[in-house]
Amino acid sequence: MTLNQVFLLDHPLVSHHLTVLRDRATRPSEFRAGVARLAMLIGVHATEDIPLRDVEVETPIMAATCQRLDAEIGIVPVLRAGLGMVDPLLELLPDASVWHLGLYRNEETAEPVGYYDKLPRTNAADVAFVLDPMLATGGSIDMVVRRLQEWGVSDIRVLSIIAAQPGIDRVTRDFPDVKIYVAAIDPSLNEDAFIVPGLGDAGDRIFDTP
Ligand code: PRP
């Protein structure tokens, strides 16, 4: 389904691997593997319209006009949970730079708190792929997008595995140009601002922390 800038993946592999993640019986090693598989599937979709330039190559047979990527690409994992999506994106985009941003949600208020930011002030990437398996209230993505806009990135793409409808509504309202690629959109949040039915806390399940 495509709703303006929201791209909800519809693929049997996505459904299967998402079910593995939702299952509370899934062990951390399987959970990590599932996050990586879904990140790869989402990553393929999110790169469908990346710019290309023509290049001439000599094949073993003859000269041929081919294409290579033509963009400075930044991969922006949101610590911690976004780390689980970095390797598959680097498999797809081996020449991308990786810029880490550290945020956690205050457990009382559900507001994001930034704790790590090494983004430079100049030479913004052409395209930034923001990696975070969860988009709940949207507060964390709001903070990340503002920081990337301040850096000067015009093409910002958020790759999440699971999102809540209220968070999607917030991000699409506040940032109409930001594209969101997601494997599932759940209807709501509970009183602790967790996605319902969701998959729990992705960071804790990836890193096996309580
Ligand atoms: C989770 C998740 C997102 C954020 C989503 O991080 O990985 O970053 O919360 O919530 P929001 O949309 O309401 O802002 P968490 O605070 O659990 O940190 P962690 O990745 O270190 O586990």
Domain ranges of the chain: 2-207
* pTM for this prediction: 0.96
Residues with CB under 6 Å of ligand 1 are 78, 80-81, 103-105, 110, 112, 132-140, 167, 193, 201-204
Centroid of ligand 1 to alpha carbon of 134 (angstroms): 6
Q: Tell me, yes or no, if 208 is annotated catalytic.
A: no
**In whole angstroms, what is the distance from residue 167 CA to residue 155 CA?**
20
Residue 65 among the catalytic residues: no
* Residue bearing tokens 């970095």: 86
**Which segments of the chain are extended strands (E)?**
2-3, 6-8, 52-58, 63-69, 73-79, 97-98, 101-105, 112-117, 127-131, 134-135, 155-164, 179-186, 188-189, 195-196
Degrees (nearest 5) of the Cα angle 76, 80, 81? 85
Question: For each successive 10 residues of the chain (210 residues), what is the average pLDDT?
Answer: 78 98 98 98 97 98 98 97 98 97 94 94 94 98 97 97 98 96 98 96 96
ipTM of model = 0.98
- CATH says 2-207 is which class? alpha beta
